[in-house]
Chain A
Amino acid sequence: MGCSSSSPAAVKGSGRLQTTSQPDVLDSKNLRIKLVLLGDSGVGKSCILLRFVRGQFDPSSKVTVGASFLSQTINLQDSTIKFEIWDTAGQERYSSLAPLYYRGASAAVVVYDITNPETFLKAQFWVKELQKHGNPDIVMALVGNKADLESEREVSREEALAYAESNGMFFIETSAKTADNVNQLFEEIAKRLPRGQSSLSRN
């Protein structure tokens, strides 16, 4: 388990054409970003979300709409990142609606369950969708959840890592149950976000 990163190829393009999905630059040290969680039903998206939000210390920075929309601020060494996390519907019947949710997202976390290979296939589907229809500058993370269930593992770490690297994503395995790597996931995303770009796209 741990954070494995691919090459910095995750951040591509100049970002001039679709700048509305750039992080909102509140000032030079504060960013506000929209992050979407994608993944099949039951992989633990909401659990990761709740674990991340509850693990933080600043209660004033939280906005929660059940387990579907949450806002959380984290401090890095030199900046503050306010994550605005949008859960997406995981049921198959709602899968065609996902593009409505990932419009304007600066980061996407694609989650699968390491004990269920079907969810890994579905994760690959979401990655392709994001590559096709999402923002070209989006920071994507592939997350294998339920890493505490090692004995029931059916998706190997090597396979997932190879897939992530080949698609310019970073890969991490988490356990929402034990909180393993949950904070690291969001910190790594925060580090990879493009900085210093003005979001004043319309002017």
Chain B
Amino acid sequence: MKFSFRRRKSSTKSKSESQHGATGVSGVKARIQLRLLSQLKWEAYCPKKLKGEKPGKGAGRQEPLAVAKDLWSGLDTFQGCTDFLQSSGLNTRALRHAARMVDHFKSSYQIEDSSLSNEFRIAACKETLRQIAKSLVDQTLASNPRLESYCIGNEENMSQLRSACETWVLGSVYEKVLGACKLMFGQSDKILDYNLARLDKVDPIVLGVRSEFKDFVLGEALLQFRMINRGRTPLEKAICLQKTINCIIEGIQTVISSCSGTTAEKDGLLPCTDDLLSFMLLLMARSRVKNLQANACYMDNFLSLQAENEQSGELAYHVTNFMAACNYLNSLEVEKLVASVSAPSTAEKIPASLKSPRSVASSPVRVAPIYSTSHSFEPDVHSMNGEIFIVDMFDGRVSGRHMSQSEMELRSISEKCLGQSGLRESSKSRGGSLHVPFP
């Protein structure tokens, strides 16, 4: 009796085992190829200091990593973090597991559930995302010995890995989380936009800007600040704030260096927190960026999920300034200021040409906030009853006209919809506390 495959005869393995073995061999080859590819990618992107170094085993090898270097280039963006985590085939399993958790979070997590308080919803969401990010870190380290050798015992690298995993997780759930923040602060953000449209016209000194900086041109800072809504992750948004402030400080330092005063006089021109807050208010008024409070809430709560102290670091400082500016814009003082800038009887003061429906329709309208009389915090609430305020994005003009019957109907539908969207009364009035664990 002849056997076409002698090996099969001599082998004790079953058919299925042999087939598995064959695919196993090709699987090994594929894994080797993948690892080589990962190695090439790693060589291309990892810092020079780490190239060519053999990974140590165990936690004790800290000497080559004593100098803090970036673990990977571009870890400040979602794309950069994704590239980093996908750069090694050894991370695939950890990433796949994290992706499943993220999908589950997106499909089943009820962050929009309006029966719970904003604070509770954000805290619960934050904790879940922290767990996903932590799990990704742990599994990546467990499955990638090379990465483990770089991170264990080196706090700087470990911190970068944590940040990369957080960024990846948060970038993956961006729409859901920021969407929830927008829902929570939607109404109060509209009011903020309205206030800012009026503040755009006031003298910078009224907003606290020092007279020395009154004529300071915000140009580049404005361009930078307007990009805040392009960022997906809290890190990207916070870096946008940092760059914005750096533009301002660089501009001021150019002015200082051209001054011929004493060191003490020059130091006096260095911007302190009062100045940065005032500039932030001015930027907010001039830039017309939307969803400011939603962004503030998103950054403040999700910037550092795994940090020991969330409220530390330069980025946290910039986010705090941003938060502080938003809070200040909700203050009674600003309400009074807004009221003084544009008197309640705006409709009577606006030129007839602007009052006509045609002129309103032809203007490049971007925002048409419709306010309800129930918002008692609005300074000119009564006069606004029955009026629509149109904010012109390009020159900041606010024009008013009386509502038609159809518009009144539209408003009632709008109010109804907002009610269905789950905004709490406290959210409607003030937007709630932006920071959850507020002391």
- Give the number of chain A interface residues (Cβ < 8 Å): 45
Given contacts A67-B270, A69-B314, contact A103 B435 (CB under 8 A): yes
Q: Is B272 within 8 A of A66, CB to CB?
A: yes
Residues 235-290 of B contacting A (Cβ, < 8 Å):
245-246, 249, 252, 264, 267, 270-277
User: Residue on A with the closest CB to B277?
Assistant: A89
Contacts of B362 in A (CB 8 A): none
CA distance A10 to B323 in the complex (A): 30
| Neighbour of B308 across the interface among A67, A88, A97, A199, CB < 8 A | A199
Which secondary structure characterizes the binding site on chain B?
A: helix
Given contacts A24-B312, A97-B324, contact A103 B272 (CB under 8 A): no
Contacts of B313 in A (CB 8 A): 84
Chain B CB within 8 A of A126 CB:
no
Chain A CB within 8 A of B333 CB:
yes
Q: Contact mask B312-355 → A, CB, 8 Å, 1/0?
A: 11100110100110011001010000000000000000000000
Contacts of A89 in B (CB 8 A): 272-274, 277, 324
Q: Is A99 within 8 A of B438, CB to CB?
A: yes
CA distance A201 to B270 in the complex (A): 37
Q: Is B272 within 8 A of A100, CB to CB?
A: no
Q: Is A68 within 8 A of B271, CB to CB?
A: yes
Chain B CB within 8 A of A21 CB:
yes
| Neighbour of A96 across the interface among B208, B267, B331, CB < 8 A | B331
Residues 119-159 of A contacting B (Cβ, < 8 Å):
133-135
Q: Is B312 within 8 A of A66, CB to CB?
A: no
Q: Is A68 within 8 A of B155, CB to CB?
A: no
Chain B CB within 8 A of A101 CB:
yes
Which secondary structure characterizes the binding site on chain A?
A: mixed
Given contacts A100-B320, A133-B439, A200-B308, contact A26 B276 (CB under 8 A): no
Chain A CB within 8 A of B420 CB:
no
Q: Is A87 within 8 A of B333, CB to CB?
A: no
| Neighbour of B314 across the interface among A32, A63, A67, CB < 8 A | A63
Q: What's the least CB distance linking A174 to chain B, in Å? A: 16
Given contacts A91-B208, A104-B309, A133-B439, contact A50 B320 (CB under 8 A): no
| Neighbour of B275 across the interface among A66, A104, A105, A199, CB < 8 A | A66
User: Residue on B with the closest CB to A33?
Assistant: B312
Q: Is A24 within 8 A of B309, CB to CB?
A: yes
Q: Is B272 within 8 A of A45, CB to CB?
A: yes
User: Residue on B with the closest CB to A47?
Assistant: B267
Known: A34-B311, A66-B272, A91-B274. 6 other contacts (CB 8 A): A46-B272, A65-B314, A66-B276, A67-B267, A86-B317, A103-B435
Chain A contacts to B: CB under 8 angstroms:
20-22, 24-27, 32, 34, 41, 45-47, 50, 63, 65-69, 71, 84, 86-91, 93-94, 96-97, 99-101, 103-105, 133-135, 177, 199-201
Chain B contacts to A: CB under 8 angstroms:
155, 208, 245-246, 249, 252, 264, 267, 270-277, 308-314, 317-318, 320, 323-324, 327-328, 331, 333, 435, 437-439
23 A-B pairs, CB-CB below 8 angstroms? A47-B267, A65-B246, A65-B276, A65-B314, A66-B275, A67-B272, A68-B272, A68-B275, A69-B317, A84-B313, A86-B317, A86-B320, A89-B273, A89-B324, A94-B277, A100-B323, A100-B435, A101-B324, A103-B438, A105-B311, A135-B439, A199-B309, A201-B308
